[in-house]
Chain A
C-alpha cells in the first residue's frame, strides 16, 4: 500500500526480461474489490449532489461541465490503481500490456454500473426524505436529459472507456503517461483559471485572447481546448527531452538499476550548482509578483489577498507544527487575538476603548498580545503528550471563541455583533489600504508575507530552528543533547502566534469588521490542511499549498476560483487530509529532512538495494554472496 509500489529501482530494469502475462490472467479479486469501491464512491458522489451543483460550470464549452467531471475522474484514478502492480524485491515483474487495459476497462464498467443502479433506483423509488439529492435533477444529469435506457447503459460504457484509458497509462511508456497527465492538467487548469486569465488579458489589453479562449458560459471553447492541449504537449515534450539530455550528460554511471532515481538526483544537484540561475529566477518571480497586481482586476487581487492571508497563517503554523512538531489545533486563537486587538484599538465603534490609534500602533500591540497569548497557551501544554496537547489547544481555541461571543465580555468585544467600522491602514501618509481596494490590501499582504518568509527561512537554519527539528524528531534525545526543550517549544509558540496575529490584523483592516464566527475551529483545521498538503516544514510547500487550496477551493469563509465548491469545501479538505496522510505524508513539496524522517525504512531499503546492484556489477553479475550484503 505504501510507496513500495513505485519503487524506482525496478521500473526501468524490469521490461527487458519480464515475462508476458495472458490477457485473462487477472487478479479477479482485486478487480472485484476495486469495482465495488468505485461503485460505492460514484454513488456517493452522485448523492452528495456534486454533479447537480457543479453542472452550471462549464469546462470545455458544450461537452464537459465540472459536474460530469466529478463523475469521470474517479474511474480513471481507480482503473489506474488497478493496473498498478506492486513490484517488490524478489518478485517477478510482468510485462505490461493489454491486460492492464482490460483490467481498467472492466473496473470502470463494473464500477460505473453503480450509477446505472442509481438511475434505475431514482426512476422507481422515492427516498428523497433522508437523501436530499435523490432528485429528478440528478436523474436528468445521469441520463443526459434523454431516456432512462440511455442513462442506464451509457455509464458502464463511459466507465469502460475511461477505465481503459486509465489502465492503458501503464502500458504506454512513462514519458507518454507523463505528457498525458500534463496535458489533462493544463486543460483543466486553463479552464479553472478562467477568471484570472480573463482578468489578466483585460489588464494587458489583450481581451482578444480570453475572448477566443472562453465561450460565453465561461468554459473553454473547442478549438481553444485543442490548442491548449497541443501547447502543453509540446512544452512537456520539450522539458522531457531537455531532462533526458541533462541526464545523459550528467550521469556517466548509467547503471541499469538506478537510472530512474539517478536522473532526478543528478538534476537536483545541477540546479544547486548554478546559484546564479536560481537567483535570476528568484528576482524575476519577485518582480512579477510586485508588478502583476497592477494588471489584475478586483476579483483576482481579492483572491490573491486571501491566499496571502492564508500563506501568513500557514507559515506561522508551519513553525509550530512543521518545525517544532507540536500539533496545535487552536491556532485560530492567535488569528483572533490579532484581529480583535486591532479592531478594539483602532475602531471608533469599539465599545470599551475609544483609542482609535493608527493601524501600525495597533499592530504592535497585537504582536505583543499574541506573543503573550502564545506564552499563556503554550506554557500549560508543552509538557503534555503530543495528542493531549492537540486537544487542549483545540479547547483553548474554542474557549477564546466562546469568550468573544459571550455576554460577559461583550462590553469589550461586543458579542455576536462583532466590532465594525475598522478604519483602513495609513501607510505613513503615503497611501491608504482599504478593503474596497483589493490591490492595496494585496500589497500590504505581500509585504508581510515577505517578512514571514524571510523570518521562517532564517529561523529554519538557525540554532533555534535546528533545536526545533531535533525536538520534532525525538524530544528526549534532543534534551539529552542539551537542547532546552521547554524554552524552544515556547519560542515556537510565540513566533507562530506573532505571525498568525499579522494575518488577523490585516484581516480586520481588510474586511473592516470582526465577528467571533470568523474564528471558528474550522479555520485552524483548514490552515493545518494547507500546511500538511504543502509539506510540513517546507516554506515553498506551504506557499504552494496555500496557493492551490485557498486559491482553487477557497478558505473557510472566502470563495476560491471554483466557487461552486463552496458547500463541498470542507468535505474535500477532510478527504484530502486523509489521502495526504495515507499516500504522501510528507506533502506536495516536502522538506528534505522531514521526508527522510517519515520514510527512513524505505530509504534504507532503497540504499540497500542500490548497494546490492552495485555489488552485483562489481562481482560480474554473480549474486551468490548476497547473504553477506552490507545492510546499512
Chain B
C-alpha cells in the first residue's frame, strides 16, 4: 500500500531482486528434484547435482508424515504466540520455554509412572494424566510470567516487553537447567502398537497419535474461542481493548486467560515433542519456539486457523525442503540445514507476503 504512494527506492529494487532470487532458487531446486525423480540419470539433474539419486515413495511418505506431525506440534505452540500477539501486540519470546517446561514435566512424570509400572499397563490413562499435568504446569508458568514480567509493562513501547520476554526466556531455560540438571531427560518406551509401522497406511502409530492429539486440542481451542463467552471476550479484546473495557469486559482478566490458554496449548505440544523425539533438555524450547513463531507469521499472526496451517507448512517445508530443494542443487549434508530452511521460510514469507498466507487479524493500530 505504501509502495503506491512512495517512490521506489534502491532498497525496494534490492528487495525485488531478493524475492526473484528466492523464487529462482526454489524453482530451480524443485525442477532439479522433479528431473531426478523422473530419472536420476537425467542430464539436468546430473548437472545440478552429480550424485543425484531419487527418493523412494516410502521415504517421501515418511518425510511428509514426519513433517505433518512436527508441524502439528509447531502449530499448537504457534497458537500461544498468535493469541498473545493478537491481544497484547508483542511477541512473547518466552513461549518456547513454556513449551519446554511442558515437555520436561511430561518427561519427569512419565518416567515416574513407568517406574511404578503404570505406563505399560494402562498407557492411554497415563498419557491423559501426563497431558493434563503438563497443561496445568504450563498454564501456571505462563500466568505467573504474565503477572510478574509483563503486566507492569502495559502501555510501554512495544520493544520493552519484547526485551523482557527475552530475559524471561533465558531465565526459565536456565532455571530448569539449575533445578533439574543438564542431563537429557528421556521418555519411557512407547507401547509396541504405537511404534509399529504397520498401524495404518504404513505410518508410525505415534505420529498418528500426535496429529490426533493436536487436532483434539485445536478443536477444544476453537470451541473455547468461537462458542463461549470467554472466547467472545477474547476476540473483543483482540479487536480493540479499550472499547472492550468500555463494554464491561475485564481486560486484565482476559489477558490472563489468553496466557493460560496459550500455556495449556504449549503444554500439549510439549508432550507431543516427547512422543516424537523421546528426550528433552533445557534448550529444547528455543528452536521450536522460533519455528512456531515463524508458523504464526506464515499463517498470519492473530489468526488461529492460520497458525495451525502455518505450523503444518513450516513442519513440511522443514522436513521436505532440504531434500527437495537443497539436495537436488548439490548441497551436501542438506538435513543439517533444516533449521536454516525454517528461518529462510520465515524471511521469504515476510518478504513476499508480510501479513501471512491467511492474513493477519490484529487491532487497527497494529496493522501495517
Contacts and interface: CB of A to CB of B under 8 A. Distances in A.
Interface of A: 1-2, 44, 47-50, 129-133, 325, 327, 329, 379-380, 382-388, 390-392, 394-396, 398-399, 402-403, 405-408, 486, 490, 521-522, 525, 528-529, 532, 567-568, 570-571, 573-578, 581-582, 585, 598
Contact of B91 (A391, A568, A582): A391
Interface residues of B, number: 58
Given A380-B347, A395-B343, A387 B181 contact: no
A585 B156 contact: yes
A582 B9 CA distance: 39
A407 B332 contact: yes
Contacts of B334: 408
B184 to A, nearest CB: 13
A70 B221 CA distance: 43
The 4 nearest A-B residue pairs measured at CB: A577-B167, A407-B333, A574-B171, A574-B170
Chain B interface secondary structure, helix, strand, loop or mixed?
A: helix
Interface in B145-196: 148-149, 152-153, 156-164, 166-175, 177-181
A405 B164 CA distance: 30
A382 B170 CA distance: 26
Nearest to B164: A581
B149 A578 contact: yes
A230 B333 CA distance: 65
B178 A571 contact: yes
B297 interface: yes
A575 B346 contact: no
Contacts of A131: 179-180
Contacts of B174: 568, 570-571, 574
A388 B159 CA distance: 11
Contacts of B351: 380
27 contacts: A44-B175, A50-B178, A129-B112, A130-B180, A131-B179, A379-B14, A386-B162, A387-B158, A387-B159, A388-B350, A391-B297, A394-B290, A395-B290, A399-B343, A408-B331, A408-B332, A408-B333, A408-B336, A490-B11, A567-B177, A571-B175, A577-B163, A577-B164, A577-B170, A578-B148, A582-B153, A598-B157
Interface of B: 9, 11, 14-15, 18, 90-91, 108, 112, 148-149, 152-153, 156-164, 166-175, 177-181, 286, 290, 293-294, 297, 331-334, 336-337, 339-340, 343-344, 346-347, 350-351, 354, 368
Contacts of B171: 571, 574-575, 578
Given A380-B18, A387-B159, A402-B340, A392 B347 contact: yes
A387 B91 CA distance: 7
A380 B346 CA distance: 12
Among B167, B180, B181, B351, chain A packs the most CB atoms within 10 A around the CB of B167
Given A380-B350, A387-B90, A568-B178, 18 more contacts: A48-B179, A327-B163, A329-B166, A379-B14, A379-B18, A382-B11, A383-B11, A384-B354, A387-B91, A391-B294, A392-B346, A398-B290, A405-B336, A406-B333, A574-B171, A578-B149, A578-B171, A581-B164
